[in-house]
Amino acid sequence: MDFTIKTMAEYAAEGKAPEVLFFVGCAGSFDDRAKKITKAFCKILNKVGIEFAVLGQEESCNGDPAKRAGNEFVFQMMALTNIEIMNAYEVKKIVTTCPHCFNIIKNEYPGLGGNYEVLHHTQFLRKLMEEGRLKIEGGTFKGKRITFHDPCYLGRANGEYEAPRQLLEKLDAELVEMKRCKSNGLCCGAGGAQMFKEPEPGNKDINIERTEEALSEKPNIIATGCPFCNTMMTDGVKHFNNNEVTVKDIAELLAEAEDL
Partner 1 sequence: MQYIDNIIFFIAMVVGFGLFFKSLKEIYRNILLGKKIDRSDQKAERWGIMARVALGQSKMVKRPIAGILHIFVYVGFVIINIELIEIIVDGIFGTHRFLAGILGDSLYSFFTATLEVLALLVVIAVVLFFIRRNFYGIKRFTMKELFGWPKHDANWILVIEFALMMAFFTMNSSDWVLQQRQVLAAHGSFPISANILGPLFQNFSDNALIFTERGAWWFHFIGILFFMNYLYYSKHLHILLAFPNTWFANLKPKGQFTNLDSVTKEIKLMMDPNADPYAAAPEADPNEVPEKFGASDIFDLNRVQLMNAYSCTECGRCTSVCPANITGKKLSPRKIMMDTRDRIEEVGRNINKNGKFVDDGKKLLDDHIQREELWACTTCNACVEACPILIDPLSIIVEMRRFLVMEQSAAPQELNQMMTNIENNAAPWQYNQADRLKWATEN
Residue among 18, 40, 59, 257 that touches partner 1 (CB under 8 A) = 59
Stretch 213-242 residues interacting with partner 1 (CB under 8 A): none
Residue among 17, 48, 85, 157 that touches partner 1 (CB under 8 A) = 157
**Closer residue to partner 1, CB minimum distance, 18 or 191:** 191
Q: Where are the alpha helices (DSSP H) in 89-150?
A: 99-103, 121-130
Residue among 90, 131, 198, 259 that touches partner 1 (CB under 8 A) = 198
x-or-dash pattern for partner 1, window 100-129, by CB under 8 A?
Answer: ---xx-xxx--xx-----------------
Residue among 94, 186, 245, 254 that touches partner 1 (CB under 8 A) = 186
Our finding on whether 46 is near partner 1 (CB under 8 A) is: no
Task: State the nearest-atom distance from the C-beta of 16 to partner 1, in Å.
Answer: 19
Residues 6+ apart with CB under 8 A from 157: 99, 103
**Closer residue to partner 1, CB minimum distance, 91 or 129:** 91
The answer to whether 86 and 59 are in contact (CB under 8 A) is no
Our finding on whether 179 is near partner 1 (CB under 8 A) is: no
Our finding on whether 192 is near partner 1 (CB under 8 A) is: yes
Angle between helices 121-130 and 162-169 (to 10 degrees): 50
- Which of 241, 237, 243, 240 lies closest to 224 in space, CA to CA? 237
Our finding on whether 204 is near partner 1 (CB under 8 A) is: yes
The answer to whether 201 and 125 are in contact (CB under 8 A) is no
Residue among 10, 56, 145, 169 that touches partner 1 (CB under 8 A) = 56
Distance between CA atoms of residues 84 and 236, nearest Å: 39
The answer to whether 121 and 98 are in contact (CB under 8 A) is no
The answer to whether 151 and 99 are in contact (CB under 8 A) is yes
